[in-house]
Structures are given as C-alpha cells and as structure tokens.
Amino acid sequence: MNEKELLEQGYREYSGEKIDVFFKREICEHAAECVKGNGEVFDVERRPWIMADAADADEVAAIIDRCPSKALKYIKK
Ligand code: SF4
C-alpha cells in the first residue's frame, strides 16, 4: 500500500528520514509489541508517540512486522 492509500484508510503518518511509520488507532489491539520492541520509538506517554528516527530503520520495520493487528505499517524510503 502506498502513502496515499494508507492515509485514505485512516492511518496517521509519523515521518522519519529513512522510514515513514503509519498508525491506525481504531484497529490497535494493545498487544504492546511495539512498546516492548523499542520504547524510544514507541512511547504512549509522549506526543508524538511514534518517533520513526529514534532507531535504525530496519529495527523499526522488524518491530512493526510483529504488530498483530496491522495497526502499524511502514514505508521505507
Ligand atoms: S504492536 Fe500493534 S497492536 Fe500492539 S500496541 Fe502496538 S500498534 Fe497496537
């Protein structure tokens, strides 16, 4: 899916230099794979709660691949 399609589906974009992260709150199952994966990138106490550049893009992608609900998606640049 491209950026436009994700935004049309209700995902919100968190841009980074090497990777853009997308999140759709409505389908998040709160499994916390993201937060457990890297608390610097994913921090629910912070705004914005996702900082795509806080870790290596490959690591961010690997964590997002473990999101069980597909509430998180990414596009590498
Ligand atoms: S891993 Fe996915 S489903 Fe789990 S809390 Fe994060 S965004 Fe939500």
| CATH 1.10.1410 assigned to 3-76 | no
Cβ(1) – ligand 1 distance below 6 Å: no
CA of 71 to the centre of ligand 1 (A): 6
Binding site membership of 34 for ligand 1 (Cβ less than 6 Å)? yes
- At 51, the pLDDT band (50, 70, 90 cuts) reads very high
Mean pLDDT, range 52-69, rounded to an integer = 98
Is the CB of 70 inside a 6 Å radius of any atom of ligand 1? no
**Cα–Cα distance between 75 and 14 in angstroms, integer?**
11
Handedness of CA 32, 37, 38, 39 (dihedral sign): positive
| Overall pTM > 0.95 | yes
**Burial per residue of 57-72, b for 16 or more beta-carbon CB atoms within 10 angstroms, e otherwise:** beebbebbeebeeebb
Give the residue, by CA position, lying nearest to ligand 1 atom 2.
67
